[in-house]
Every structure is written in structure tokens, then in C-alpha cells.
Structure 1
Amino acid sequence: MRKVLSLLALCVLVSACGRMRDDLTEAPEPIGNFLMGYNITVANDPTKGPFSRDVTNEEWKAAVEGAIQNRLGRYDGDAWFHVAVGVQGYVVAMPGIPLIYSPKSVLVIGVTFIEDATQSKLNEEPIQMTVFEPCCTPILGSGLTRSREEQIDGLAFNAARAIERYMREHADQFGGVPEVLEDDPTIIEGAVSLETQTEVPQEPVN
């Protein structure tokens, strides 16, 4: 019975992740006049938290830029904006001990938006965002349930979601109307201490 329940839980998890990714196949509602110009991610030896797998600068650059392109590249407004991201810190969780030590994966980024027409920054200081993986089981850390590559991909995917959410909530900066979105516990504006990420976060709000 225990194995059956575990299998059912895993099926639900996979299904939820699939639904979250399906939204990329649909044309999004505009964010003002936003049309993505340059998509630049920089990872200059970001801080690696405790009990983390190693990730190279090149891997972070490729994963985050790819996720942003997949998400923000769908918009077809008439004003170019550039998106610059700096990877500041991460934990790509190693396998832990369920119920005792289940490290969770986390990524801290800084985001800057630049308006192409004026070549001016919309924010003088990078906007810090912390993201967790979009799909995690409530008991097992992702180090036990996902491969290293899947963890990196999940963090990059949620980083792009976090950027899009910020843009919708501050759509006036892009010529649109700001939106009020439901809280998502896998996305936090600001930075968290990488030293304390040893518990699995709640499931995300879709």
C-alpha cells in the first residue's frame, strides 16, 4: 500500500509540473508594450550554499537564458525592452535524509530591465528574487527525486516565471496596467540566506 501511495503522489507531481509548463504553448496576455530585446544572463561564480551540487557558470547562463527566452520571447508588443539577469547564489540540493534533513533547491537572481528607446534602466539597482523549484514532493527533497539537470532546469524555469510575475505586477513600467496576482510560495522578492534552506517549501500556487 505504501508503494502504491508513493506512486500516486509521484503521478500527481508529474501532472502538476506538466500543467505548469503547458502555459508556454499559449499566446500570453500582453504586458503593456513589452517586446523582448536582448536576453542576457551573467553568472560570475555565484555563491554556492551548503550541501549543494556543483553547477558551472556556463550551465546557469544557458539554463536561465533559455527559460527566459521560452517565456518572455512569446510577447509581441511594439517597444523593445532588454532583460539582464545576474545569478547571485544557489543550492542544487544533494540527496538528504527524509523527515530529518531534506535540503531544497533555491536560486537567487538579480534582474535589471532596460528600455531600448531611451537606453535607460527601469530600475537602478537589480531587483533581487529568490525562487525554489516549481514542483517538489512535500516529504522528499528534490535531491532524492530529481536529477541534477532537472533541478537546474526547474530553478531556471521558475526564475523566468518570477520575472514575468514581477513584470505583470509592475506593468506600468512597460506601458500597461499593473495586476494583482496570488501569492506563490516558490517565489520570493528579495534574497534569502542559503545557509537555512534545509526544508522543502510548500507546493506552488498555479
Structure 2
Amino acid sequence: MHRAASVLRSVLLIGGLAILSACAAKDPLDAPPEPMGDFRLGYTIVVADNAKLVPPSRSATADEWETVLKEALERRFSRYEGEKLYHFGINVDGYALAVPGVPVIAAPKSILVISANVWDDAARKKLNAEAEQMSIFEGMSGETVVGTGYTRSKDEQMRVLATNAALRIERWMIENREAWFGYDPAAAPPAPVEPAAAPAPVDTLSQAVLDPPPAAN
């Protein structure tokens, strides 16, 4: 009896993980970038020399963090083609990269804490008065329920966190795009209109059954 209950719990857990995996988010770069005024990416400077490791955690070097974050930021923001240059100054404050734990009950989660600044090249000054500190998580999926210490390598964890950091920075910038990047909502192009669906072909046999011809007199 106990063995059967244990097997049932395992089946339910696997089924739940399959559902969560199926619901995992698509690559955020699949969607076109949201308008951001005159923004064009210039330099991307990432500093991680003073990043604090919060145990329990896998260890990553400053060079590893600087490389993965720079790649994620340039991949995301190089899509913008505005007329003015802006630069990123990113500091890695701390991190924890999940190690194997007890699935579901005590599955450790990965986190990255950064401070972000955006610089106006022409004005030679920061746009934000104080650095914007952000806490970045891996996000919800079947892998994070089990604990990514089991399901992802250190490099995979870092890439996911770096991608989510780029998304979080983008949201912050969009919140300030009118003041910082000269975004004009009135000049924004209208949202694309979905084309009307073509009428479904008529199944003549089914139609004859549904609407039989009138009986002859």
C-alpha cells in the first residue's frame, strides 16, 4: 500500500513537471522590441569584481559574470536603432547559483543582484540619479520546481539569469522612455491589425445532412 502511494506521488510529480515545462516562456527575443524613442546601444560595461557569493551556491568568477551579462545585454539591446547613443554601466552586487537540494520541498533557487546605470553619450551624464538595484530570479518552470542545481549546469543558470536581467533592465528603461529617450506616444505606430480569418470551406456532405433538401410533393 505504501509503495503504491509512493509510486502515485512520483507520477503526479512527473505529470506536474511536464505541465510546467510545457508552459515555460518562449524566447523573449521572438517578439519585436517595444519602441524606445531615440535609443541606440553604445558601450556595455559590466563590473563583477566585488560580487558577493551567497551560500549555498556554485562559484562563478568575475570574468564569467561580466561575459555572460555583456552578451545578454548586447543581444537584447542591439535590436534598437535609434539616433542617439546610450551606454550601460552594470555592477554585479551578489548572486547565488542553486546547488542540488531536496526536490520541491527545499529546492534552492538562483538569484542575481545587480545595480544598473544608463549614460547619455551626447550629454556625458547618467540618466538615473541613483543606481537602480534589481533582484533577478530564474523564473517559474518545471526545472525550478525540482531545483536547477539538478536540472541546469552553472553556465545554463548564469545565462538564464543574464537574459532575465536584460529583460528587467529593458522594462525599467521603457518605464522612463519618454523622459530619457524622447519617446512620443502620439507618434508611435498603431498596433498591427490581425487579418480576418478566411471562411472555412463548406463540407457539402455534412451540410446536406444538417440541411436536407425539402421532400418532394
TM-score tier (shorter): 0.7 to 0.9
Higher helix share: 2
What is the alpha-carbon distance in structure 2 between the residues aligned to residue 12 and residue 91 of structure 1?
Answer: 27
Aligned mate of 1:32, from 5, 30, 37 = 37
Larger Rg: 2
Aligned pairs for 1:44-193 within 5 A:
44-137=49-142, 139-172=145-178, 173-176=180-183
Alignment partners' CA distance in 1, 2:11 and 2:77: 39
4+ runs deviating over 6 angstroms: none
Secondary structure at the residue paired with 2:87?
strand
Contact 2:24 2:141 in 1 (8 A): no
What's the CA shift for 1:5?
Answer: 4.8
SS at match of 2:89: strand
User: What is the CA deviation profile of residues 24-46 of structure 1, one whole-angstrom value per residue up to 9, with x for unaligned ones?
Assistant: 14431321111111111111130
Match of 1:195 in 2: none
Gaps of 5+ in 1: 179-206
Aligned counterparts of 1:149 and 1:8: Cα–Cα separation in 2: 27
CA distance in 1, matches of 2:56, 2:101: 9
Provide the rounded CA distance (Å) in 2 between the counterparts of 1:63 and 1:142: 18
Q: TM-score, normalised by structure 1?
A: 0.77
Structure 2, unmatched stretches of 5+, are 1-7, 186-217
Distance in 2 (CA, whole Å) between partners of 1:64 and 1:13 is 27
TM-score, normalised to structure 2's length? 0.73
SS in 2 for 1:55: coil
Q: Which amino acid aligns with 1:57?
A: A
> Alpha carbon RMSD of aligned pairs, Å?
2.1
Count residues in correspondence. Answer: 176
2 CA distance for matches of 1:52 and 1:104? 10
